[in-house]
Amino acid sequence: MQIDSISFNDISIFHPEEEYSIFHRLNFTRTSGGREWLRKFFSEPHNDLSKILGTQRIIRTFMEHVEDWPDSVTNGTVMMMDKFLDYSLDPVPESPGPVGCWIYRWLHREDYSMISYSVTHFADFFRGLKQIAELLDGLELPKSILFIPTASVNY
Protein backbone atom coordinates (compact mmCIF):
# COMPACT_ATOMS: atom_id res chain seq x y z
CA MET A 1 0.00 0.00 0.00
CA GLN A 2 1.35 3.42 -0.91
CA ILE A 3 0.55 6.51 1.14
CA ASP A 4 1.71 9.93 0.01
CA SER A 5 3.16 12.61 2.31
CA ILE A 6 -0.14 14.58 2.38
CA SER A 7 -1.99 11.51 3.72
CA PHE A 8 0.75 10.93 6.29
CA ASN A 9 0.39 14.55 7.41
CA ASP A 10 -3.42 14.34 7.48
CA ILE A 11 -3.43 11.33 9.79
CA SER A 12 -0.51 12.80 11.78
CA ILE A 13 1.83 9.82 11.58
CA PHE A 14 4.68 12.27 10.94
CA HIS A 15 3.47 15.70 11.98
CA PRO A 16 5.77 18.71 11.50
CA GLU A 17 5.34 19.48 15.20
CA GLU A 18 6.70 16.24 16.61
CA GLU A 19 4.68 16.16 19.83
CA TYR A 20 1.50 15.89 17.74
CA SER A 21 2.63 12.89 15.67
CA ILE A 22 1.57 9.29 16.16
CA PHE A 23 5.21 8.31 15.64
CA HIS A 24 6.30 10.46 18.58
CA ARG A 25 3.60 8.99 20.83
CA LEU A 26 4.50 5.40 19.98
CA ASN A 27 8.29 5.79 19.86
CA PHE A 28 9.64 4.02 22.95
CA THR A 29 12.85 3.01 21.20
CA ARG A 30 16.14 3.51 23.01
CA THR A 31 18.53 3.34 20.08
CA SER A 32 18.89 5.38 16.92
CA GLY A 33 18.70 2.11 14.92
CA GLY A 34 15.42 1.24 16.62
CA ARG A 35 14.08 4.71 15.93
CA GLU A 36 14.99 4.46 12.24
CA TRP A 37 13.47 0.96 11.99
CA LEU A 38 10.24 2.27 13.53
CA ARG A 39 10.23 5.28 11.17
CA LYS A 40 10.66 2.94 8.19
CA PHE A 41 7.98 0.64 9.61
CA PHE A 42 5.48 3.55 9.73
CA SER A 43 6.59 4.82 6.30
CA GLU A 44 6.03 1.50 4.53
CA PRO A 45 2.77 0.03 5.86
CA HIS A 46 1.77 -3.56 5.16
CA ASN A 47 -0.76 -4.45 2.50
CA ASP A 48 -1.47 -7.96 3.83
CA LEU A 49 -4.05 -8.51 6.59
CA SER A 50 -2.04 -11.28 8.29
CA LYS A 51 1.03 -9.00 8.49
CA ILE A 52 -1.10 -6.18 9.89
CA LEU A 53 -2.62 -8.44 12.56
CA GLY A 54 0.81 -9.87 13.39
CA THR A 55 2.27 -6.39 13.77
CA GLN A 56 -0.62 -5.34 16.01
CA ARG A 57 0.04 -8.40 18.17
CA ILE A 58 3.75 -7.53 18.42
CA ILE A 59 3.03 -3.91 19.38
CA ARG A 60 0.38 -4.98 21.92
CA THR A 61 2.82 -7.47 23.47
CA PHE A 62 5.62 -4.93 23.66
CA MET A 63 3.32 -2.29 25.18
CA GLU A 64 2.17 -4.76 27.85
CA HIS A 65 5.82 -5.32 28.84
CA VAL A 66 7.35 -1.88 28.26
CA GLU A 67 7.95 -1.37 32.00
CA ASP A 68 9.93 -4.64 32.12
CA TRP A 69 12.16 -3.74 29.19
CA PRO A 70 15.88 -3.80 30.16
CA ASP A 71 17.70 -0.49 30.52
CA SER A 72 21.02 -2.01 29.42
CA VAL A 73 20.16 -2.04 25.69
CA THR A 74 20.68 1.61 24.84
CA ASN A 75 22.00 3.74 22.04
CA GLY A 76 25.15 4.39 24.08
CA THR A 77 25.82 0.68 24.42
CA VAL A 78 25.35 0.06 20.70
CA MET A 79 27.53 3.07 19.83
CA MET A 80 30.29 1.88 22.16
CA MET A 81 30.27 -1.61 20.64
CA ASP A 82 30.41 -0.09 17.15
CA LYS A 83 33.30 2.16 18.17
CA PHE A 84 35.19 -0.82 19.63
CA LEU A 85 34.73 -2.87 16.45
CA ASP A 86 36.12 0.01 14.36
CA TYR A 87 38.99 0.71 16.79
CA SER A 88 42.50 -0.38 15.77
CA LEU A 89 43.94 -2.11 18.84
CA ASP A 90 47.59 -2.87 19.26
CA PRO A 91 48.12 -6.64 19.37
CA VAL A 92 47.25 -8.17 22.73
CA PRO A 93 49.56 -10.97 23.93
CA GLU A 94 47.93 -14.39 23.49
CA SER A 95 48.65 -15.71 26.97
CA PRO A 96 50.10 -12.96 29.14
CA GLY A 97 51.01 -13.49 32.75
CA PRO A 98 50.53 -10.89 35.48
CA VAL A 99 53.68 -9.01 34.47
CA GLY A 100 52.74 -9.09 30.78
CA CYS A 101 49.27 -7.73 31.59
CA TRP A 102 50.74 -4.93 33.67
CA ILE A 103 53.22 -4.04 30.90
CA TYR A 104 50.45 -4.03 28.25
CA ARG A 105 48.29 -1.87 30.50
CA TRP A 106 51.16 0.56 31.06
CA LEU A 107 52.42 0.72 27.45
CA HIS A 108 49.01 0.65 25.75
CA ARG A 109 46.82 2.71 28.09
CA GLU A 110 44.33 3.83 25.45
CA ASP A 111 43.87 0.30 24.12
CA TYR A 112 43.55 -1.15 27.62
CA SER A 113 40.91 1.46 28.51
CA MET A 114 39.00 0.76 25.30
CA ILE A 115 39.03 -3.00 25.95
CA SER A 116 37.99 -2.79 29.61
CA TYR A 117 35.24 -0.23 28.92
CA SER A 118 33.93 -2.12 25.87
CA VAL A 119 33.77 -5.50 27.60
CA THR A 120 31.37 -4.00 30.14
CA HIS A 121 29.14 -2.67 27.37
CA PHE A 122 29.18 -5.97 25.47
CA ALA A 123 28.21 -7.84 28.64
CA ASP A 124 25.39 -5.36 29.42
CA PHE A 125 24.09 -5.62 25.86
CA PHE A 126 23.97 -9.42 25.86
CA ARG A 127 22.39 -9.52 29.33
CA GLY A 128 19.75 -7.11 28.00
CA LEU A 129 19.10 -9.31 24.97
CA LYS A 130 18.72 -12.30 27.26
CA GLN A 131 16.20 -10.35 29.37
CA ILE A 132 14.22 -9.47 26.24
CA ALA A 133 14.21 -13.11 25.11
CA GLU A 134 13.06 -14.23 28.58
CA LEU A 135 10.40 -11.51 28.64
CA LEU A 136 8.93 -12.66 25.32
CA ASP A 137 9.51 -16.38 25.90
CA GLY A 138 6.24 -18.31 25.83
CA LEU A 139 4.25 -15.45 24.33
CA GLU A 140 2.34 -15.98 21.11
CA LEU A 141 4.25 -13.94 18.57
CA PRO A 142 4.15 -13.93 14.76
CA LYS A 143 6.62 -16.07 12.85
CA SER A 144 8.52 -12.94 11.81
CA ILE A 145 10.01 -12.73 15.32
CA LEU A 146 12.11 -15.76 16.14
CA PHE A 147 14.13 -16.24 19.32
CA ILE A 148 16.70 -18.77 20.34
CA PRO A 149 15.22 -20.67 23.30
CA THR A 150 16.64 -19.05 26.44
CA ALA A 151 17.17 -22.40 28.14
CA SER A 152 19.98 -23.22 25.70
CA VAL A 153 21.78 -19.90 26.14
CA ASN A 154 24.23 -19.60 29.03
CA TYR A 155 26.06 -16.41 29.90
pLDDT bucket at 150, cuts 50 / 70 / 90: very low
Q: pTM for this structure?
A: 0.55
Residue 143 has pLDDT above 70, yes or no: no
Please list, in sequence order, all residues whose beta carbon lies within 8 angstroms of the beta carbon of residue 23, skipping any fewer than 6 positions away. Answer: 13, 14, 38, 39, 42
As a whole number, the mean pLDDT across the chain is: 77
Please, what is the Cα angle at 11 between 64 and 65, to 5 degrees? 5
- What average pLDDT does this structure show over 48-56? 77
Confidence of residue 107 (pLDDT cuts 50, 70, 90): very high
Asked whether the predicted pLDDT for residue 9 surpasses 70, the reply is no
